[in-house]
């Protein structure tokens, strides 16, 4: 973990030194921000410029190459003007930057997400989880296939986002860590899904997989119903 921090700190310093006042903000997101990273996890960093030029992208790439071997840094290069525009907002919700992001440089100059934005993201995520789960249940996806990442990546990982956003929506607080999420989730089945996800991350899960797909599907459907009733 110390090596990861050194890699991030070095990247931030070199980028800020190179671009000066054209750089407005850098934010760490993803598994490293949430404390869920595996040895193979990328380091997700949003790099905000006053505006983005192709030369900027090439120079960011050169800085990354100069860091040498190590976990891959995955930069997202944008401007605040782009992120707040209609086209970009359809693809990249600023909600994640607010709740999941750790500011490494500068300030996050984005308006705080409204309740409607939180509910929109919950609907989008739980619908995706439900449809993925229904497919696996219908075809009776093999235990091997689910164990090789399908349960973790396509069901439980997005469900964790939806459960976090539910807590934010209903309590006004954001449980960044899985331990906090498990304490604040609103049902026993939701807490069990968090526990299963933690076990998968730690390679300690030893039970059947398809029942967990069904559990996650039920949790997602219940959350969607709760959101729709609130409207």
DSSP letter for each residue of 45-101: EEEEESS--HHHHHHHHHHHHHT-SSSPEEEEEEEHHHHTSHHHHHHS-HHHHHHH-
Contact (Cβ atoms closer than 8 angstroms) between residue 97 and residue 24:
no
Burial annotation 145-154 (CB, 10 A radius, 16+ → b, else e)? ebeeebbbeb
Residue 18 has pLDDT above 60, yes or no: yes
User: What crossing angle do the helices spanning 157-171 and 115-138 adopt, rounded to 10°?
Assistant: 150
Residues 78-90 have pLDDT tens digits of 999 998 887 777 7
pLDDT of amino acid 132: 97
Query: Residues 205, 179: contact at Cβ < 8 Å?
Result: no
Residue 192, token pair as written in the block: 């069990």
Does the global pTM surpass 0.85? Answer: yes
Q: β-strand 43-49 against 73-79: which pairing, if any?
A: parallel
State what percent of residues in the chain have pLDDT above 70.
Answer: 98
Helix (H, G, I), strand (E, B) or coil at 142: coil
- The pLDDT value given to residue 112: 84
pLDDT, position 88: 77
Q: pLDDT by residue (tens digit) across 158-209?
A: 999 999 999 999 999 999 999 999 999 999 999 999 999 999 999 999 999 9
pLDDT at 2: 55
Average pLDDT, the chain: 93
| pLDDT computed for residue 87 by the predictor | 73
pLDDT of 1 strictly over 60? no
pLDDT band at 44 (very low <50, low <70, confident <90, very high): very high
Q: Which tens digits make up the pLDDT trace of 89-131?
A: 777 778 888 898 999 999 998 888 889 989 999 999 999 999 9
């Amino acid at each position: 973990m110390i090596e990861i921090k050194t890699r991030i700190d070095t990247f931030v310093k070199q980028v800020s030194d190179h671009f000066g006042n054209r750089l407005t903000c850098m934010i760490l997101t993803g598994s490293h921000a949430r404390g869920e990273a595996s040895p193979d996890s990328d380091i997700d960093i949003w790099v905000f410029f006053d505006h983005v030029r192709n030369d900027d992208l090439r120079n960011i790439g050169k800085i990354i190459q100069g860091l040498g071997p190590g976990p891959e840094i995955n930069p997202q290069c944008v401007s605040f003007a782009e992120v707040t525009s209609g086209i970009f907002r359809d693809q990249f919700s600023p909600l994640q930057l607010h709740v999941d992001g750790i500011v490494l440089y500068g300030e996050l100059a984005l308006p705080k997400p409204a309740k409607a934005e939180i509910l929109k993201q919950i609907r989008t995520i739980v619908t995706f989880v439900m449809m993925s789960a229904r497919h696996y249940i219908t075809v009776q996806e093999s235990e091997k296939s689910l164990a090789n990442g399908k349960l973790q990546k396509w069901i439980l990982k997005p469900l964790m986002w939806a459960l976090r956003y539910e807590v934010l929506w209903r309590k006004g607080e954001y449980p960044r860590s899985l331990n906090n999420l498990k304490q604040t989730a609103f049902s026993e089945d939701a807490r069990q899904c968090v526990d299963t996800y933690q076990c998968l991350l730690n390679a300690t899960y030893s039970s059947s997989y398809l029942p967990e797909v069904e559990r996650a599907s039920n949790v997602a459907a219940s959350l969607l119903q709760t959101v729709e009733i609130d409207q």
